[in-house]
Every structure is written in structure tokens, then in C-alpha cells.
């Protein structure tokens, strides 16, 4: 059996590696259109500001590792331009045809907008980051504009400010991070302003027309679905590939994983498109297992993520109050501030938001911001969402305490208790 994987980053290599473990006799080939595989795209902002010394440090494994250690063939600079599923072949840009028995489509996503202007950049791929870094080193710009208030936009603004540029962030909505949380946006905007980033909300900007010596267009991404859709694969309501819980597309023997496809949201039960590296890896494992003949399932996503904005950690999971209301829930929200550890251990302020459904009292979402202690709290909330936990159960969790690490009543539990009082009224 020959398994061909299209895409050599998170989802693709997870799929190939999982398939190899389960089916030692399979022939496995990975086709990657770029020059590098297995690199951490989430580290690109840190490469830009100098915390990562070189792009090579972001590479987890070189092609030789997969070929020698896992018997997986890797072909870089091999772009797939067509899929002829009736013939079980993919067609490369060179015109070469590659046969497959099972196909895993892990082609990821791309920037939503493209620009040919010399001073306009994206920060999505390794080549994007290298071109931008070279421009900064050679041209020495003093002013920068970042367009887009999502994860990439906030990280790019933080990185450029760390490089000494005067930075202005434009966003076409009133709230950041696609979260529709005014309190969260206020905290993020305040921190960015403190760090010297000018934040302009509800102000659309054109990448080629904005006044700045260098511009980062971070207005969003688009799933790479066109080639597989032309072969007959169905798209979902979000415009990404529709897949089953087994990562199957509508084409028999073709699976998809990562930023190119939808997933079921574990809170709303609806299909969503939330491109994240952690999700891509897990999807890839399921797709690879099932391409090798297993019948594993992907449990779904909560959209759990964390981002750094001006040194502030900002993390979310599940639904905001506004999102929950649109999904038909009757949401109640509580927001509290506390300390991430004891005051005499120089504990810093941390803010916790919890959202629950008034009717079922089930937890629907959470957000946490602070200079420390954010990751543990958001991960606990994510686990609670996966368990479909109600607020009473969350408030009674037996969480660890020691002064260097927490307060005696953890802010997450304090927020849950506050939410219980609101639910009871």
C-alpha cells in the first residue's frame, strides 16, 4: 500500500509518522511544496525579534531523519497542482504524476490577501519570516504598520516593537483575537500601548496605502482546499474541507488534517475552522492512523490557544459570552482579578473570565490574561470543557497550592464561585 501525504509540516508529518508506526510495510511519501519540513511556524515571531537565532533552530527534524529513522520518503519543492482521484494520482507542478492508494491532504492554509508591494510582508511561512528579517536588517525601517488584530498581528506588533520600530496596529473590528470580548480587548490594547504600540480599533487599513516603512498584512488566512475541491471533495460551511470524525473527506480513501479542514467544536457541536498547530498535530495522527487501516476518531476542538502581546499572556478556550449567545445558549459571565501566586512571592495580577449556560449550568468558555500563571489556568478550563463540566464541579476541583505557585484560593476557583452566585440569581 502506498500512502501519499501532501504537506510536510505539523499535520502531514504527524500523519506520516503515525501511519508508519501502525503499518510498517506501507510505502509512505510526503510531498512538501516548500524547501523545509517539520519547522515550528509558531516560533517565527521570535525569530523576527532575535529570541531565536536562526530558522534552523525552528526545524524539529530534517528530511534525513524521517528517511533513515522512520522509512518515510520526503520530497521538498514538490507542489501538488491537481488530484485525479479516479486514477489515484496527484499531479505535481513539474508535470510528474504520483500514484497513491490512500491520500492524506495536509496542505494547510495561506494568507488571505497577497501583495506585490516591496514593503508589504506576511508572517505565515518560513520564507515569509526570512524575507522580512532580511528587509529589516538591510533597510533599517523606523516605522511599521501591522494590519490585523488576530494572533499573528499581535505577535508581529510585539516583535517589531522589540526590534525598536514605532508600530501602529490597525484592526477592522472593535475587539481583538476574534473573541468579541470587550474586557479582554481592553487589557490587550492597554498593554500594547504601554509597550509603545499604537492600537487603532475599528479602523480598516489597506496594506499598500497605509503610511509606514514596513507593513505586515495579518488580515487572516484561507484554507488550501481548491485542488482537492476540484477533484470532488466537499467543502463545509466554513469553506474548509468537510471531514468526518475519522478525518475522511467525501472522496473514498482520501483523508484531510490540519488548517485545511473543519472540525467539530466540542461546546457548540457545530463545525468550525480554527487553524492551530496543536489541533493540526492531533488531526494528523488520526488521519494517518486511518489511512493505515485503523478506525480512530478525532474528538473535536475547543479553540484553546495562548498568545503573547507586549509581554502579556492572553489565553482563551471555548466560547465567549457573545459567541455562546449566537449558538443558542443562555450565557452568564463572570470576570475576576486576583494574583497568580502569593503576594509575598511577588505574585502578579491575573484576570479570569468564565462563561456558563444558565439553563444547564455547564461551562462554555474561559479566558485568562496575566504576566504569569496563565497557561495552567486555561488548560484546566480546557479540560473542564472536554469533560462537559458544570460550574459546581469546577468550583470544587482539588487544585494544588503552594505560595510560590498559587494563592490558597486559586483565581480560577474564585471566578467559578462568582459565576455560581450569578447563576443562582
Catalytic residue among 42, 138, 260, 415: 42
Question: Is 42 marked active-site?
Answer: yes
Q: Are 389 and 363 in contact (CB under 8 A)?
A: yes
Q: Are 386 and 200 in contact (CB under 8 A)?
A: no
Provide the grid cell at 117. 508591494
Euclidean distance between CA atoms 74 and 65, whole angstroms: 10
Reduced 3-state DSSP string for the chain = CEEEEECCCHHHHHHHHHHHHHCCCCEEEEECCCCCCCECHHHHHHHHHCCCCCHHHHECCCHHHHHHHCCCEEECCCCEEEEEHHHCEEEECCCCEEECCEEEECCCEEECCCCCCCCEECCCCHHHHHHHHHHHHHHCCCEEEEECCCHHHHHHHHHHHHCCCEEEEECCCCCCCCCCCHHHHHHHHHHHHHCCEEEECCCCCCCCCCCCCEEEECCCEEECCHHHHHCCCCECCCCCECCCCCCECCCCCEEECCCCECEEECCCCCEECCCCHHHHHHHHHHHHHHHCCCCCCCCCECCCEEEEECCEEEEEEECCHHHHHHCCCCEEEEEEEEECCCHHHCCCEEEEEEEEECCCCEEEEEEEEECCCHHHHHHHHHHHHHCCCEHHHHHCCCCCCCCCCCCCCCHHHHHHHHHHHHHCC
Closest CA to 267 of 358, 178, 387: 387
- For the annotated catalytic residues, the residue numbers are 42
Amino acid at each position: 500500500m502506498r500512502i501519499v501525504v501532501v504537506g510536510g509540516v505539523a499535520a502531514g508529518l504527524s500523519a506520516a509518522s503515525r501511519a508508519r508506526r501502525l503499518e510498517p510495510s506501507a510505502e509512505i511519501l510526503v510531498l512538501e511544496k516548500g524547501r523545509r519540513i517539520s519547522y515550528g511556524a509558531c516560533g517565527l515571531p521570535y525569530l523576527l525579534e532575535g529570541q531565536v537565532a536562526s530558522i534552523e533552530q525552528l526545524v524539529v527534524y530534517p528530511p534525513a531523519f524521517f528517511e533513515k529513522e522512520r522509512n518515510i520518503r520526503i520530497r521538498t519543492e514538490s507542489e501538488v497542482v491537481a488530484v485525479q482521484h479516479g486514477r489515484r494520482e496527484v499531479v505535481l507542478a513539474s508535470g510528474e504524476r504520483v500514484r497513491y492508494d490512500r491520500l492524506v491532504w495536509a496542505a494547510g492554509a495561506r494568507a488571505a490577501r497577497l501583495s506585490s508591494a516591496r514593503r508589504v510582508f506576511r508572517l505565515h511561512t518560513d520564507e515569509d519570516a526570512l524575507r522580512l528579517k532580511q528587509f529589516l536588517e538591510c533597510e533599517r525601517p523606523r516605522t511599521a504598520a501591522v494590519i490585523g488584530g488576530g494572533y499573528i498581528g499581535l505577535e508581529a506588533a510585539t516583535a517589531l516593537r522589540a526590534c525598536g520600530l514605532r508600530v501602529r496596529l490597525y484592526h477592522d473590528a472593535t475587539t481583538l483575537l476574534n473573541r468579541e470580548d470587550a474586557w479582554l480587548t481592553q487589557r490587550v490594547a492597554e498593554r500594547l500601548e504601554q509597550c509603545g504600540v499604537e492600537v487603532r480599533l475599528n479602523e480598516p487599513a489597506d496594506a499598500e496605502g497605509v503610511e509606514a516603512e514596513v507593513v505586515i498584512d495579518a488580515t487572516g488566512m484561507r484554507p488550501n482546499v481548491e485542488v482537492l475541491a476540484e477533484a470532488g471533495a466537499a467543502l463545509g460551511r466554513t469553506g474548509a474541507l468537510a471531514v468526518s470524525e475519522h478525518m475522511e473527506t467525501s472522496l473514498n480513501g482520501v483523508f484531510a488534517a490540519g488548517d485545511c479542514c473543519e472540525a467539530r467544536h466540542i461546546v457548540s457541536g457545530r463545525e468550525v475552522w480554527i487553524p492551530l498547530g496543536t489541533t493540526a498535530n492531533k488531526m494528523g495522527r488520526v488521519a494517518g492512523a486511518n489511512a493505515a487501516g485503523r478506525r480512530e476518531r478525532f474528538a473535536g476542538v475547543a479553540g484553546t490557544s495562548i498568545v503573547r502581546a507586549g509581554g502579556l499572556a492572553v489565553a482563551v478556550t471555548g466560547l465567549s459570552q457573545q459567541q455562546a449567545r449566537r449558538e443558542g445558549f443562555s450565557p452568564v459571565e463572570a470576570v475576576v482579578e486576583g494574583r497568580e501566586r502569593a503576594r509575598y512571592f511577588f505574585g502578579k495580577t491575573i484576570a479570569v473570565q468564565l462563561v456558563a449556560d444558565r439553563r444547564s449550568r455547564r461551562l462554555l468558555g474561559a479566558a485568562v490574561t496575566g504576566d504569569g500563571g496563565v497557561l495552567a489556568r486555561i488548560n484546566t478550563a480546557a479540560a473542564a470543557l472536554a469533560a462537559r463540566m458544570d460550574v459546581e464541579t469546577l468550583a470544587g476541583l482539588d487544585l494544588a497550592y503552594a505560595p510560590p505557585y498559587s494563592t490558597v484560593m486559586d483565581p480560577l476557583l474564585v471566578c467559578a464561585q462568582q459565576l455560581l452566585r450569578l447563576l443562582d440569581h
